[in-house]
Amino acid sequence: MANDVRSSQRRYPGLFSAERRTAALYRQAVSDRRMTKMRKTLALALVFCVALLGLVANSRIPPVTATAQAQEYFSDEWLSPKQLDNLLAPIALYPDPLLAQVLVAATFVDQVDEAARWMRVYNDPGAIDNQPWDVSVKAVAHYPSVLYMMNDRIDWTIALGQAYVNQSTDVMASVQRLRAMAYSAGNLASTPQQEVIVEREYIYIVPFQPRVIYVPAYDPSIVYVRRSFYFDPYPATVITFGPAFPIGAWLNRDCDWGRRRIYYHGWQGRGWIARSRPVIHVTNVYVHNNHTNIQINRNIVRRRVNYAKLNGYASVHRDVNYNHPGRGNRGGPGEPNAGSKIIRRDAGISGPWSDTRRGRPPFEQQAGREEKLPPTREKKSPQAPEKKSSPAKMRPQLTPPSPPADTARPAPQPPPRDRRPIHITSAGNRISDPRATSEAGQVRRAPVHQPAPSPPAKALKQQGERSERWERRALQKQS
């Protein structure tokens, strides 16, 4: 039988091949239908699981946490003038073209970090122009000592960038204030490395030589204070300079102190720009119309700053810290007791401040002011009751005492004009009770010298009549 089937296949090959193809197609169609159903089922199961997980996650996350996660950090910290002085003290004496690039580059802190890593690995100044960094970062990268300093003090760099974004005019004013301090101390003067120009109220620091520029090195805690001739007889010992760096087309910005801004000069101008222009190679990487507007990274305000590390830069104003930088606070944030200041005023009732506030004449013209006090202020103290002084009895000499039945009490004395609790000493001095008045008022109130009060005339007359009657009775008994 098998031999017959084989012979039939050899004789009619087309018939058997068509049957096999039909069977294979049928099996493939069945398999495709099964796979389609399976895919649909898996897709529906996946959608159901995702929806279920979303409901569970939303039910577990409270609304407050979700809102907090959606919030973004935004720093609007405004620094006080003293805080800005401490922050800018390390770079305030840099030459103006280098200082202009440093202030702008501080807003691109991520690029500064990347440039510092790249320079430590390759250290190829010729390849800096091809890097995708901002023009200011490229310019600072040509001076590795400045670039490494900014990268090592990353919190200081972020704070500097935020200060320039939030209060650029205050930053420029702080630089001029620090330069004036160094100049008045005698520590800022022209040298073979840099030229110091004083015009009106502004101090310019520019390169002295046309081809090279020097980065000054100094101690901020010394250079801004008055020089001690015992330790530092010459300014050269206060400010030193490192190796010379070339001046290139990357120094395309300068400081406009009159308008307190940084501007793009495009290597067209006078002074140091005119001296260095013939010896530099101008390229369109740094000299282009696109650089006319100074671009800064305003997203630097979203970076967090560890202000505790900034307290180490308190070199100019040592009593200022960054523990509580103020947000729009004009009361000098960061200064001691800036949040809770105690104002000490004259608390005495006879002080000139209280007299002025109450609409009274000056202190020198108030001889009888105690008699004009309003009734509301003339209250008796329950702790110190008033002591009434009894008048002295005026009796003639060698007269017998009067009997108790006929004794007439003296009339009550009128109350003193100053109704505050008083004490009358044995010397006749009247002083205020310290428990009824304030301490400051007690210091300012001097004792008033007055004679002891005399008995009334009516009481003396009655006492004299009694004495005469006793004398007549004594004479009658003797006779």
* Bridge partners (DSSP) listed for residue 264: 253
> Tokens 């996946």 appear where?
46
> Tokens 């520019």 appear where?
206
pLDDT at 39: 82
- State which H helix or E strand residue 98 sits in: helix 96-105
Burial group, residue 458, by CB count within 10 angstroms (0-12, 13-18, 19+): exposed
SS (H, E, C) 259-283: CCEEEECCCCCCCHHHHHHHHCCCC
Q: What are phi and psi of 262, to 5 degrees?
A: -110, 135
pLDDT of 438 above 60: no
- The alpha carbon dihedral of 435, 441, 446, 448 has a sign of negative
Q: Report the first-to-last Cα separation within the chain, whole angstroms.
A: 197
- d(C-alpha 410, C-alpha 342), whole Å: 54
Query: Can you give the residue ranges of every domain in the chain?
Result: 2-70, 81-313, 343-370
pLDDT band at 398 (very low <50, low <70, confident <90, very high): very low
Residue type, 197: I
Name the token pair of 153: 């003090």
Q: What are phi and psi of 423, to 5 degrees?
A: -125, 135
pLDDT of 75 above 50: yes
Mean pLDDT of 102-127: 95
3-state helix, strand, coil in the chain (%, to 5): 45, 10, 45
- The alpha carbon dihedral of 448, 450, 455, 458 has a sign of negative
- Biggest alpha carbon–alpha carbon distance for the chain: 199
The predicted-structure confidence for 405-431, as pLDDT tens digits, reads as follows 444 455 555 555 544 444 444 444 444
Q: What is the pTM of this model?
A: 0.56
For residue 369, give the DSSP letter.
G
pLDDT band at 469 (very low <50, low <70, confident <90, very high): confident
pLDDT band at 214 (very low <50, low <70, confident <90, very high): very high
- d(C-alpha 150, C-alpha 99), whole Å: 13
Mean pLDDT of 178-201: 93
In angstroms, the Cα distances linking 393 to 248, 390, 472 are 109, 9, 21
pLDDT at 30: 77
Mean pLDDT of 50-65: 57
CB 180 within 8 A of CB 263: no
- d(C-alpha 290, C-alpha 273), whole Å: 20
- d(C-alpha 363, C-alpha 433), whole Å: 23
Q: Which residue has the higher pLDDT, 241 or 373?
A: 241
